[in-house]
Amino acid sequence: MKNIVFDLGGVVFARNPQRCTPEFIDFFAFVRDPQMPLFWEEYDRGTWSLERTKEEMCRIKGCTREACDRFVEQAIARCSVQGSRLWFNCNPEGPQHWFYREWILKCEQRNALYLHFTMEDNPSLSPRIRQRYRSSYSGAFYRRFILGEWTAAKGLIYDFFDPVRDARPVPEGELEEYVISVDYGTANPCSFGLWGLSGGVWYRVKEYYYASRQTGVQLTDQEYAAELARLAGHHQIRCVVADPSAASFITALRQAGYRVVKANNDVLSGIRITADLLKKGRIVICEPCGDCLREIALYRWSEEAGGRDAPHKDHDHAMDDMRYFAVTMADRGDSEGVFCSVARRQMKE
């Protein structure tokens, strides 16, 4: 969507720079506003309606709703020469996405041509790369990125993973290096995972899981730090990848001498990366990690998220610490973007 906004602003400027007032230029500069990352995340996922989007744009830029409408309409109206068209290029999301509802479902009403492409229509991908992408995705992500479908995320998130079949024994001997992942909780469960690297594969060899609601006793940051030290044992810990919202616990760990890395907490991107690494065997859950294996068999998409793609907020604590680790450590230097299925709309004359 950012590209569309840049393009619309660029069209107006290219047609007649003299008509681009400072106010107009400032409005289209909102894409570089420090507050925009969350805005784009919600907008691109279709979490917000077009009306809500305009309201947020007005709030960030401090302009009136009338000014916002005027700017957007002015940008679209600049495509006024004979043969001009608006092109929209999207990777599909859920069926509640505003673009799907307002443009694709209403393409005839809007005098638009809707073209559906799949990954197979991308001539730049070799057969080997296509096969790699096919094997990297499952469930809703496969239907979206490979088949180009606007489909809802539902059911188990890691539906390809069988805890009985896919859990592995802990590798023997000392591994090359160790990292601990942390999903911090006080009232909610707290989950730590000890990961060891061997031959390019990260193994979750051991874990700590504490649910204060079950025990009736909440632990302090210092007590959790002591539990983390027991989990580490005699191993040299390269770093601790921590829940970025756990400010007090991060401070306690640093005071205890650990190097702490704040995890990337983009949930959907993290789930895609984690699924890819699990399917490729780049991260492996070992047999002693019972809570992680229990949660992965229960971790599912929420049916109460109002059309948003979001995990059900239950059985997700070991899943969160695994996701933090996968995105922040295991995926370094091996992530590849997927731009293989698109949907394009061409305005008819």
Task: Report pLDDT for 182.
Answer: 96
Residue 150 CA to residue 62 CA, distance in Å, equals 34
State the pLDDT confidence band at 53, using cuts at 50, 70 and 90. low
- pLDDT at 28 > cutoff 60: no
What is the rounded CA–CA span in Å between residue 119 and residue 96? 23
| Predicted local distance difference test score (pLDDT) of residue 322 | 96
Residue range 226-250: mean pLDDT, rounded: 94
Q: Residue 304: is its pLDDT beyond 60?
A: yes
How far is residue 36 from each of residues 53, 96, 98, 267, measured CA to CA in Å?
A: 12, 22, 19, 17
- The two three-digit tokens of residue 59, written as one number: 């709030």
pLDDT exceeds 90 at position 1: no
User: Is pLDDT at 259 greater than 90 in this prediction?
Assistant: yes
The pLDDT value given to residue 114? 85
Averaged pLDDT for residues 55-64: 62
Name the nearest CA neighbour of 289 among 181, 215, 185: 181
Report pLDDT for 152: 60
Per-residue pLDDT, 80: 73
Give me the pLDDT at residue 306, please.
63
Task: Check: CB of residue 82 under 8 Å from CB of residue 132.
Answer: no
Give the lowest-confidence range in 28-32, 72-76, 319-323.
Answer: 28-32
CA distance 6 to 246: 36
- Assess whether pLDDT exceeds 50 at residue 311: yes
Cβ neighbours, 10 Å, residue 87: 10
Q: What are phi and psi of 239, to 5 degrees?
A: -165, 170
pTM, two decimal places? 0.60
Answer yes or no: is pLDDT of 63 > 80: no
Tokens at residue 188, please? 């909610």
H or E segment and range at residue 207: strand 201-210
pLDDT of residue 171: 95
pLDDT score of 293 more than 90 = yes
**Residue 291: what residue type?**
D
Helical spans, DSSP H, in the chain: 2-15, 22-28, 36-44, 50-61, 65-77, 98-99, 127-136, 139-145, 163-166, 212-215, 221-232, 247-255, 267-280, 290-296, 317-325
Considering only 3-12, 83-92, 125-134, which range has the smallest mean pLDDT? Answer: 3-12
Ramachandran region of residue 144, left (φ > 0), alpha (ψ -120 to 50) or beta? alpha
Mean pLDDT on 176-193: 93
For 20, phi and psi rounded to 5 degrees?
-90, 95
40 close to 1: Cβ distance less than 8 angstroms: yes
Please check whether residue 6 is in contact with residue 75, taking contact to mean a CB–CB distance below 8 angstroms: no
> For residue 194, which phi and psi values (nearest 5 degrees)?
-100, 120
Domains contained in the chain, CATH given: 1-84 (no CATH), 163-330 (3.30.420.280)
Contact 183, 317 (CB under 8 A): yes
- The yes-or-no verdict on residue 248 having pLDDT over 50 is yes
Least confident of 137-151, 178-192, 238-252: 137-151
What is the separation, in whole angstroms, between the first and last Cα of the chain? 23
Report which DSSP code applies to 305.
Answer: S
DSSP 144-168: HHTT-------SBTTTT--HHHH-B
pLDDT band at 216 (very low <50, low <70, confident <90, very high): confident
Residue 192 scores a pLDDT above 60: yes
Provide the pLDDT confidence category of residue 291 given band limits of 50, 70 and 90: very high
Whether residue 330 is predicted with pLDDT greater than 50 in this model: the reply is yes
- Three-class SS state of 209: strand
